[in-house]
Amino acid sequence: MFAAELEDFSSSYPLKNDYLEVLNAHLPFEWVNNALSMTSHATVRRRKIQPQDILRLVIGMSLLRQESIHTVAEQLALNSKQLDNALLSAKSSLTEARKRLGVEPIQWLFHQSASHWSEQVEVDKWEGLRVYAIDGTQFRVEDTPECREHFGSANTASEYQSGYPVMQLTCLMDTASRLILKAAAGPYREAEITQASQLVDDIDDHSVLLMDKLYHSAELLHHIESRGHDRHWVTPLKKDINFEIVDKYTDNDWLVKRKLSPHARKQSPSLPQEWHFRVIRYQFEGFPERFLATSLPKSQYDAAKIIELYHQRWEIELGYREIKCTMLRKAIALRSKKITLVYQELYGLLLAYNLIRYEMALAAKEAKVSPLRISFKLGFKVVLYDYTAICQTKNLQSIPARLKDLTDTLKDLILPKPDRPNYERAVKMRPNKYPLKSNRKKKESS
């Protein structure tokens, strides 16, 4: 039933192309069609706000974080000839339209576009392997009873709840382009490692995955290396991990074996009784001794190069900073107040971030530099300016020239190669913090 209505809708509101234009990153209408087919509401034919406009609105909410949703709708020219302007004056109409769309279309469109753009972007590889990273982060959400019950409170040092409910997000990122390829989100109490297990099956062959020590789990790591071909991982070793040295390649490079408990093998029957991996010991001046565990074999990969490689894990932390500080402008919380709309806003935010990163990757390709050499903060401002201008333009013939100008402008934002000096770790003075929000409700006893 929905397919027939969507076809009728498409003939009533034809697109000027067979894709939804968002800068140079075209979203083929086939994707939009598939995404919209996932919504539980099959009445788009009679809606005056077109579904593809709601998709643009959700993306625009992240690009124009300082503006209200109503203002974003106006700036994106949702008040088209087919749309009664009085409809936009009723702010609830936009909320209701977002509710009808739901989260599944945005989530699917994010993953579909991320997979496609990742294949289109040319990135540098490490020893012939594509480098990925997995890590988690948190987002505060509006403090409504519905969000508080679903997302829960963050850990606090007192008997009281955190000021805002907190959402847990875990992402898989390509460290060479900082494109986010997969994401899993849920309540704060949902473990990062549980979310990570939902992402690892989509990692390509001939790749290496970088993670922090939280993810050193035999079940997760053995699953990564045993599925696919030539898939590897690198993670710091936890202090409580016991192992036995099987072979000493050098004084600081060993092949080890770890005996897995019957309980672990009962939870995951595919685990062997003894699990072999490589451990590299190293130490920088002024820092404590560290241990890296990896599945990369000694015969092909040098220990010094692996130590240098692991520093690329920090790219995912920088990506989260770009989202929270530059795109969200250090906002205290996401703006949506309904659970479904919170997830919808989050995936719209990730899709918008990838749009910017994809534009920067296109510019970097022409300039023959790494996408990470282009300033994200300045690039975001350029993309934002052109995005609003293109959405509002009445001269459609000018759009290709604007897009070419966008790429050329981004090419001028190349940063110098980082020097990356090694500073000694030091404790800095912490400034006084003003309270953001006081929520004196005590935690519920479990």
Strands (E), 190-268: 207-210, 231-236, 244-250, 253-259
Residue 177 confidence (pLDDT) = 94
pTM of the predicted model as reported, rounded to 2 decimal places = 0.84
Residue 64 confidence (pLDDT) = 85
Residue 15 confidence (pLDDT) = 39
Residue 331 confidence (pLDDT) = 92
**Average of pLDDT values for 255-267?**
91
Print the domain residue range for 39. Answer: 2-102
Q: 147 pLDDT exceeds 80?
A: yes
Asked if 183 and 256 sit in the same domain, the reply is: yes
Domain count, the chain: 2
What does the DSSP 8-state code read for residue 275? Answer: E
Give how far Cα 348 sits from Cα of 226, 248, 439, Å.
33, 49, 29
Residue 232 confidence (pLDDT) = 96
> 10 falls in which pLDDT band (50, 70, 90)?
very low
> 430 falls in which pLDDT band (50, 70, 90)?
low
Residue 91 confidence (pLDDT) = 65
Asked if 261 and 134 sit in the same domain, the reply is: yes
Question: By three-state DSSP, how is residue 180 classified?
Answer: strand
392: which 2 tokens?
A: 């509002």
Asked if 97 and 114 sit in the same domain, the reply is: no
Q: 239 pLDDT exceeds 90?
A: no
Dist CA 234 CA 224 (whole Å): 11
Residue 409 confidence (pLDDT) = 73
- Residue 410 has, within 13 A of its CA and on its CB side, a CA count of 36
**Average of pLDDT values for 27-41?**
63
Residue 87 belongs to a domain = yes
Residue 116 belongs to a domain = yes
Residue 4 confidence (pLDDT) = 37
Residue 244 confidence (pLDDT) = 93
Average pLDDT, the chain: 81
Dist CA 58 CA 51 (whole Å): 11
Residue 142 confidence (pLDDT) = 95
Which of 391 and 67 is assigned the larger pLDDT? Answer: 67
> 23 falls in which pLDDT band (50, 70, 90)?
very low
Residue 48 belongs to a domain = yes
Cβ-proximal residues to 341 (8 Å cutoff; 6+ apart), any chain: 95, 98, 99, 103
What does the DSSP 8-state code read for residue 322? Answer: I
59, 87, 102 - which closes a domain: 102
340: which 2 tokens?
A: 């479904």
Residue 62 belongs to a domain = yes
Dist CA 132 CA 210 (whole Å): 6
Asked if 182 and 74 sit in the same domain, the reply is: no
Residue 51 belongs to a domain = yes
**Average of pLDDT values for 408-417?**
74
> 101 falls in which pLDDT band (50, 70, 90)?
confident
Residue 190 confidence (pLDDT) = 94
Q: 396 pLDDT exceeds 60?
A: no
Of the candidates 258, 254, 260, which has an alpha carbon nearest to the alpha carbon of residue 297? 254
Question: By three-state DSSP, how is residue 136 classified?
Answer: strand
102, 129, 152 - which closes a domain: 102
Q: 279 pLDDT exceeds 60?
A: yes
Question: By three-state DSSP, how is residue 11 classified?
Answer: helix
Ramachandran assignment for 19, one of left (phi > 0), alpha (psi -120 to 50 degrees), beta (any other): beta
Asked if 262 and 201 sit in the same domain, the reply is: yes
Residue 6 belongs to a domain = yes
Asked if 53 and 162 sit in the same domain, the reply is: no
> 130 falls in which pLDDT band (50, 70, 90)?
very high
Residue 443 confidence (pLDDT) = 66
**Average of pLDDT values for 25-33?**
61
Asked if 154 and 231 sit in the same domain, the reply is: yes
The rounded Cα 314 to chain-centroid distance in angstroms is 14
pLDDT tens digits for 286-305?
A: 788 999 999 999 999 999 99
Asked if 177 and 270 sit in the same domain, the reply is: yes
Residue 400 confidence (pLDDT) = 53
Q: 85 pLDDT exceeds 60?
A: no
71: which 2 tokens?
A: 């203002």
290, 316, 342 - which closes a domain: 316
Q: Counting Cβ atoms within 10 Å, is residue 100 exposed (0-12), middle (13-18) or buried (19+)?
A: middle
Of the candidates 9, 63, 82, which has an alpha carbon nearest to the alpha carbon of residue 41? 9
Asked if 128 and 66 sit in the same domain, the reply is: no
- Residues 307 and 282 sit within 8 Å (Cβ to Cβ): yes
Residue 81 CB: number of other CB atoms within 10 A? 4
Task: Work out the percent of the chain whose per-residue pLDDT is above 70.
Answer: 73
Residue 330 belongs to a domain = no
Dist CA 168 CA 93 (whole Å): 29
Asked if 136 and 251 sit in the same domain, the reply is: yes
320: which 2 tokens?
A: 């989260």
Asked if 39 and 126 sit in the same domain, the reply is: no
Asked if 140 and 84 sit in the same domain, the reply is: no
Residue 329 belongs to a domain = no
